[in-house]
Amino acid sequence: MAENKVVETANGDFNWDQFEQDQNRYSGDQRKEYADKYEETLTSIEEHEVIEGTVVAVTKKEVVVNIGYKSEGIIPYNEFRYNPDLKPGDKVPVYVENQEDGSGQLIISHRTARVHSAWEKVNGALENEEIIKGYIKCRTKGGLIVDVFGIEAFLPGSQIDVKPIRDYDQYVGKTMEFKVVKINHEFKNVVVSHKALIEAELEEQKKQIIAGLEKGQILEGTVKNITSYGVFIDLGGVDGLIHITDLSWGRINHPEEVVTLDEKIKVVILDFDDEKKKIALGLKQLEPHPWDNLPGDLNVGDKVKGKVVVLADYGAFVEIQPGVEGLIHVSEMSWSQHLRSAQDFLKVGDEVEAVVLTLDREERKMSLGIKQLMPDPWEEIETKYPAQSKHKAKVRNFTNFGVFCELEEGIDGLIHISDLSWSKKVKHPSEFCSVGDELEVVVLEVDKENRKLSLGHKQLEENPWDVFETIFGIGSVHQGTVVSSDNNGATVALPYGVEAFCPAKQLRKEDGSKVAADEALDFVVTDFNKEARKIVVSHTRTFDKKAVDDTPKASKSAGGSKAVKASNDKNEKSTLGDLDVLANLKQEMEKKDKK
């Protein structure tokens, strides 16, 4: 048989019968009277208004606030995160959203109340330059987001502190003091600054520091910022700049090679402006100048070793010890007279040995040379490259008047344009050869004192004009081809690659027409000048003997000698195939080609 269970109530002694009798003891009017009196003890509130409440309890998740109403309101703790010191008894503004929800609970909000009054407070803080508190919520691009009076304000990275801040995250979750510096009502933007508070404190300290500044004074400072051109030093509220050239006696590529951020260093004041707003500092000046440590027995002519630290077209700077440099001019890198740049010989970082050429300890200047470590090729120039000796040379560059060739490193020579070819008329050396070509040359003249060599190329062969003089005598007839023509006349190609000039009047053919380009006809030599290497011919004279009166007279050059005239008169109609001398000339040229 099952046992009867006894149900225990919250208050077993409570007399429910008596309670029901007491309920019936009051009339309706009495009940209304008592209810009205109770209502009078409560605060009269309206929904959607801001009123002041009192904190009665604080937990990790909630804050209980009494506003003098039937029930107390509960607000999430995160709405008070900006105020970590919140405690029971504190007065806080709240916004009544609903007097009673479905469960009869009062619904209030602290965040909404703050937003309602925030703009009023922010404007007042800006106008009166008040110091306000704000909670840093998170990081954003370029700065931090701060909760101020319930609205979000922007704290730029440059306004966090007087010194540059590299880690913004360290401030997230902190409550700090700020000054409102800017409000944009149109976009509802607020900008605050913590740096402004610090600057105000440092201003007095800064005035004291500046008042005591003197040139040559040594101070301790902190590396605040590093740039490519120098280092900014915080001297305790006043900034100074160490230019990169004043960091080290030696050459450096970047200030980071010498100092690091936040490092404490001693500096010397080099200069400042009248208002002491720009302060020039030095670090290397605290150490002796490296030239003062240069060995006293170092003299001109001594050999030194060093490293190339800077290259320019005109030369290279070599550091022989930290802070002590010498210049090797490009002219002291090679015995060659050929124009070149220092980059053709050295590069930055090269370890080199050089000879001291000049040394000025007072001016702290030194010039060096490396060609002096090699024998001067010009000392034995007359023995190695005597006149009429034949050699191979490399074409280095051109000028309008000739070709510069290099026989060996340090030995250059010039082939004048007139010494390139016996037969070809060269207007510019580039028509004859190219830079880098190898040419056979003959030494024509040696000028050891001025380090000049005159070279020739055509002298490798005998002067063909000595032979041409016997072939193309005045009055001789040869077949030629018109190569080009203009108003003055035409250029005619004769045998053996010789070119002649035919005046315009002498181009008339027997039928009265004019000789055309590429037309091959007989021509009579009317003038021969060996010195000028010039031949004048006429086609008209082949059929009109009177036309000779219109042609130039024979020159009195070697081509006009009596022996030549006699030969010409005798062989006026001779052809090239009939001349033994040409056969001999041909054989001689073939032998030279084989050699």
Q: Tell me the domain boundaries of the chain.
A: 50-114, 129-198, 212-286, 296-373, 377-460, 464-588
464-588 classified as CATH 2.40.50.140: yes
Phi first, then psi, for residue 251 (nearest 5°) are -80, 135
Top-tier CATH class for 129-198: mainly beta
pLDDT for the residue 584: 54
Who contacts 491 (Cβ-Cβ below 8 Å, separation ≥6)? Answer: 482, 483, 484, 485, 499, 500, 501, 502
Q: Does domain 212-286 have CATH number 2.40.50.140?
A: yes
CATH tag, 50-114: 2.40.50.140
Q: Which CATH architecture has domain 296-373?
A: Beta Barrel (2.40)
> Look-up: residue for tokens 């055509």?
458
Round to whole Å and give the CA distance between 525 and 522.
Answer: 10
Structure confidence at residue 328 (pLDDT): 92
CB 351 within 8 A of CB 307: yes
pLDDT of residue 95: 83
CATH number of 377-460: 2.40.50.140
Q: Which residues of the chain have pLDDT under 70?
A: 1-48, 101-104, 274-277, 337-339, 423, 547-595
The CA distances from residue 337 to 330, 346, 352, 377, in Å, are 10, 17, 22, 12
Task: Kindly give the interhelix angle for 464-471 and 562-570, rounded to the nearest 10 degrees.
Answer: 50
**Do 377-460 and 464-588 fold alike per CATH?**
yes
> Cβ–Cβ contacts within 10 Å for residue 200, how many?
12
Determine the pLDDT at residue 591: 52
pLDDT at 241: 92
